[in-house]
Every structure is written in C-alpha cells, then in structure tokens.
Amino acid sequence: MASAAIKRTAKDGAAERLILERFLPYRLSILSNRVSRAIAKRYAKTFGLSIPEWRIIAVLGRKPGLTAKEIVEGTEMDKVAVSRAVAKLVSAKRVAALIDSADARRQTLTLTAHGESVHARIAPIALESERRLLATLDAHERATFDALVDRLLDAARLL
C-alpha cells in the first residue's frame, strides 16, 4: 500500500513524487515545533529560557549529574545547541558544572537551587499544555497514540 505522501505521476506508476505535507517526518516535525513554540512562549516570557535551556533543566530535574554529552545522547538535541544552553544556564547560576575528579575533561551537571526553583515553576506549565493538547483525544485514542509513538520510536532506531 502506497504512503499518503507518495503520488504516482504516470499510469504505470514509474515516477513518484513526494507530497511533503503528507510526509510523516515533516508532519511530526511541524507538530513538534508548534507544540514546543506554544509552550516556549509561556516560559520564555516569564523565565527568559530558550527551548534547549528548558529541556536541559527538565532532564537534569529528573536525572541530575549527567554530562552535556549524555544530555545530547538522551535527548537527541544538537550538540552545539546543548553546549550553548549549558553555558547560559551555568552563567545564570541555574546549573552547576562540577569537574569530575577522575577525568578533568568531564563535567557533571546539576540544577542549582535557583534551577530547581525554575524547574518546579515551569513543569506545571508544560504538563498543563500537554493536558490541553491531549484533551482532543479520548482515553482509547490516547492509549493507542502512545502505543503507536512507542512503536515508531523503536522502528526509527533501525532506520
């Protein structure tokens, strides 16, 4: 069965064209960007955080002591974006970078008290935004959606 993103342009089906607006990676990117920007507007105004900065605070709020490299690997964010965001968060005293005694090139990152406070105030905003978005789906649709996203994430690892 042909994807909705492919259009046959000849009767024999020899030529195919990609219809970007129906292409799954593009649609997922648009959805992710819209949701991220909507949430980001709320915390950027109040806390002066970029999307990468907020994501790092969220990750460290759950898993303190990670390195920037581990954050990159775990979130699949851009290495340069993470590096810049970490530098800003350290400068703003929201994150502490501690040099590993066994390897001076390695720094572990933890939220400072200020970072913990920001995390505690932003997390409810993010969760409420998620609740509002998912409210468009009933319970069965949400469960199906979660299962499908999990399957697609697993399949994407094999690409």
Task: Give the pLDDT score at 87.
Answer: 97
Of 129, 123, 106, 130, the closest CA to residue 57 belongs to 123
pLDDT tens, 10-43? 555 556 788 999 999 999 999 999 998 888 888 8
Decide which of 40 and 72 is more confident. Answer: 72
Identify the sign of the CA torsion 67, 78, 113, 90: positive
Task: Give the pLDDT score at 2.
Answer: 58
Q: 17 in helix, strand or coil?
A: strand
Task: Give the pLDDT score at 109.
Answer: 97
Say if residue 117's pLDDT is above 70: yes
The residues, ordered by sequence, that sit 6+ positions from 17 with a Cβ below 8 Å of its Cβ are: 6, 7, 9
- Residues 98 and 107 sit within 8 Å (Cβ to Cβ): yes
- Residues 109 and 60 sit within 8 Å (Cβ to Cβ): yes
Task: Give the pLDDT score at 101.
Answer: 82
Say if residue 100's pLDDT is above 60: yes
- At the topology level, CATH places domain 19-157 in Arc Repressor Mutant, subunit A (1.10.10)
Q: 135 in helix, strand or coil?
A: coil
Say if residue 98's pLDDT is above 90: yes
